[in-house]
Structure 1
Amino acid sequence: MDFFQSVTTNLMSPAILFFVLGVIACFFKSDLEVPDSISSYLSIYLMMAIGFKGGVAISNAPSFDIHLLSVVFFGITFSFLFPFIGYKLLGWTTRLDKATSAAVAAHYGSISMVTFATAAAFLKFNSVDYAGYIVAVLALMEAPAILSGLFIAHRVAPETRGHAQEEKRLTREIFTNGAILLLLGAFVVGWLSGQKGMDKLDGFLVSPFQGFLCLFLLDMGLLVGKNFH
């Protein structure tokens, strides 16, 4: 009974319900929308918060033992490799064009913050302890997935194949991608500033996080609804 109660509680979380609200709004052809400028801000905020929290979690870790390092290593490795595996599978099983397949495949390496938050809430509800540095693994797994997804997309683009100059430019763009720089940069800032830095930014990165996440998922729900409507 506790299991089903926990599942129900998580499904009834505000973040998921706001996502559903966005889908329903599109179904009823509502004029509800989140402006593009707000959507961009939400993405920047969430990436900054995830990266910073991950860095702080690493700084708070008692020591860099082999267990911590192995978890980080395998997390990064799988995050980087999954898009390549997903891209191949999509090529074999679907009729999606190569660029779309690359975009979809990148999502298989990327981490869902909502899924993570739901799983964490589930563990907390059942009084199951887990390592705090797993938040750092979450942050570190985002960048490799974005990197490999962009790499696949650029490699399969007809205009970039066989053009050395163009490939150099695109390679530079991949490694200077804003999302990657922000995630890794925020991670480093959180790592260097530690818990003191987190205490200073608590009112910005911790308390409002769930609210911003709800707004972000409302936007995602609207986007999903428009694609299926």
Structure 2
Amino acid sequence: MQSLLDPAILFFVFGVVAGAVRSNLEIPPQISRFLSLYLLMALGLKGGFALAHSGLTAEVATTLACAVALALVVPIIGYQILKRLVGVFDATAIAATYGSVSAVSFITAVQYLETHSIPYGGHMAAAMALMESPAIILAVYFANQLRQLQASAGGVVVMGNGTAALGAPGLGGGSNFSLGKVLHESLTDGAQLLLIGAMLIGICTGDAGKAVMAPFSVDLFKGMLAFFLLDMGLMASRNMQKMKGASPWLVAYAILGPLAHASLALGLCSLLGIAPGNTGLLMVLAASASYIAVPAVLRYAVPEANPSLYFGMSLGITFPFNILIGIPLYMHVAGVVLG
């Protein structure tokens, strides 16, 4: 309950309510984009300053290796489960969405740790950046394998709505499809580059840079996060409508999947002896689902999938669940198990 009384979380709840009653309240897209870039830049600077202070240690390397392992294992397991619930291309897209991460969930979790004075490593921003792309690469690989199998079986492609159609070059598997372009977009996404660049600047400037940038990266952070979560609440409320009529199994996966992924992260962190604060953040990252970068790439890489499923699940169900319930739950469990 105490976490729900945080102003930023309350603004998210307010946004959900405003969207539910069909209010005309709206944050202009340009402002929303600016807020997301600001938060990533501030987060990257914070991580860089912390890394400049601590240096590259064995704990840092272990945590980053754990992050990469989760980014590979989660979409692989997710695909094996989801292909029993939906078509194979939808399973690929949903698995990739849940195998990647939500930067806003991570930023909200960082704010939770700072509010409750729980220590965490600045290298966790690098962990988030590393977990962004593996799921996209796996999705491209799975989709291409599926297309080859279906082509050898007569060229029948199962579309996102469950219908079948003959394969065609424009369906992402032929001459119009560029694996290099997809990988380039996933690895050079502007938001991710900004995060990494800000972190490198923080490392280079150290404590002197931290003192200079504090009014920007610290003092404004909470208010900017609250404003952005208001916008996310409006978006989440509107995307909940996309899940009307969806399979109850998909709705269940949108909640139980993140819990299972967070449990996997907890078990791995326990084996490796990772600190509670960092464990909590890895649980949040493993439990989150992308709703910006990955869906944008999937529209091009896996056009056979139904966007309303993977986008509606991630933003309409999983994101609100993590913001309101998941983050405090993961942090509490990490503290109890590893504290």
Considering the TM-score relative to the shorter chain, is it more than 0.5? yes
The one-letter amino acid paired with 1:39 is S
Question: Is residue 57 of structure 2 the alignment partner of residue 65 of structure 1?
Answer: yes
Asked if the contact 1:83–1:108 (Cα under 8 Å) also holds between the matched residues in 2, the reply is no
Asked if the contact 2:75–2:95 (Cα under 8 Å) also holds between the matched residues in 1, the reply is no
SS of 1:107's partner is: coil
**Where does residue 151 of structure 1 map in the other structure?**
137
The one-letter amino acid paired with 1:106 is S
SS of 1:146's partner is: coil
The one-letter amino acid paired with 1:33 is E
**Where does residue 200 of structure 1 map in the other structure?**
212
RCO comparison, higher one (Cα < 8 Å, 6+)? 1
Asked if the contact 1:80–1:147 (Cα under 8 Å) also holds between the matched residues in 2, the reply is no
**Where does residue 5 of structure 1 map in the other structure?**
none
User: Aligned equivalents of 1:113 and 1:80: distance in 2?
Assistant: 22
Question: Is residue 42 of structure 2 the alignment partner of residue 42 of structure 1?
Answer: no
**Where does residue 112 of structure 2 map in the other structure?**
118
**Where does residue 156 of structure 2 map in the other structure?**
none
Question: Is residue 189 of structure 2 the alignment partner of residue 177 of structure 1?
Answer: yes
Asked if the contact 1:19–1:219 (Cα under 8 Å) also holds between the matched residues in 2, the reply is yes
User: Aligned equivalents of 2:61 and 2:105: distance in 1?
Assistant: 19
Instruction: Flag structure 1 segments of 5+ consecutive residues without an equivalent.
Output: 1-7
**Where does residue 221 of structure 2 map in the other structure?**
209
User: Aligned equivalents of 2:104 and 2:24: distance in 1?
Assistant: 31
The equivalent position to 1:105 in structure 2, one of 99, 102, 107, is 99
Question: Is residue 82 of structure 2 the alignment partner of residue 90 of structure 1?
Answer: yes
- Once the 2 structures are TM-superposed, how far is the Cα of residue 23 of structure 1 from its aligned partner? 0.5
User: Aligned equivalents of 2:8 and 2:77: distance in 1?
Assistant: 30
User: Aligned equivalents of 1:173 and 1:32: distance in 2?
Assistant: 32
TM-score, reference length from structure 2: 0.56
The equivalent position to 2:16 in structure 1, one of 9, 12, 23, is 23
- Once the 2 structures are TM-superposed, how far is the Cα of residue 64 of structure 1 from its aligned partner? 3.5
Asked if the contact 1:83–1:149 (Cα under 8 Å) also holds between the matched residues in 2, the reply is yes
SS of 2:18's partner is: helix
The one-letter amino acid paired with 2:93 is A
Deviations 1:111-142 (A, max 9, x none): 622133224433x2xxxx635xx1321x1122
Asked if the contact 1:60–1:194 (Cα under 8 Å) also holds between the matched residues in 2, the reply is yes
User: Aligned equivalents of 1:42 and 1:149: distance in 2?
Assistant: 25
User: Aligned equivalents of 1:24 and 1:216: distance in 2?
Assistant: 15
TM-score, reference length from structure 1: 0.79
**Where does residue 53 of structure 1 map in the other structure?**
46
Instruction: Flag structure 2 segments of 5+ consecutive residues without an equivalent.
Output: 148-170, 242-339
Aligned Cα root-mean-square deviation (Å): 2.8
User: Aligned equivalents of 2:103 and 2:11: distance in 1?
Assistant: 24
SS of 2:25's partner is: coil
The one-letter amino acid paired with 1:72 is L
The one-letter amino acid paired with 1:70 is T
**Where does residue 235 of structure 2 map in the other structure?**
223
The one-letter amino acid paired with 1:91 is K
Aligned length in residues: 213
The one-letter amino acid paired with 2:51 is I
Distance 1:211 1:80, change over 3 A: farther
Asked if the contact 1:79–1:142 (Cα under 8 Å) also holds between the matched residues in 2, the reply is no
Question: Is residue 212 of structure 2 the alignment partner of residue 191 of structure 1?
Answer: no
Kindly, what percent of the aligned residue pairs are identical?
31
Distance 1:56 1:85, change over 3 A: farther
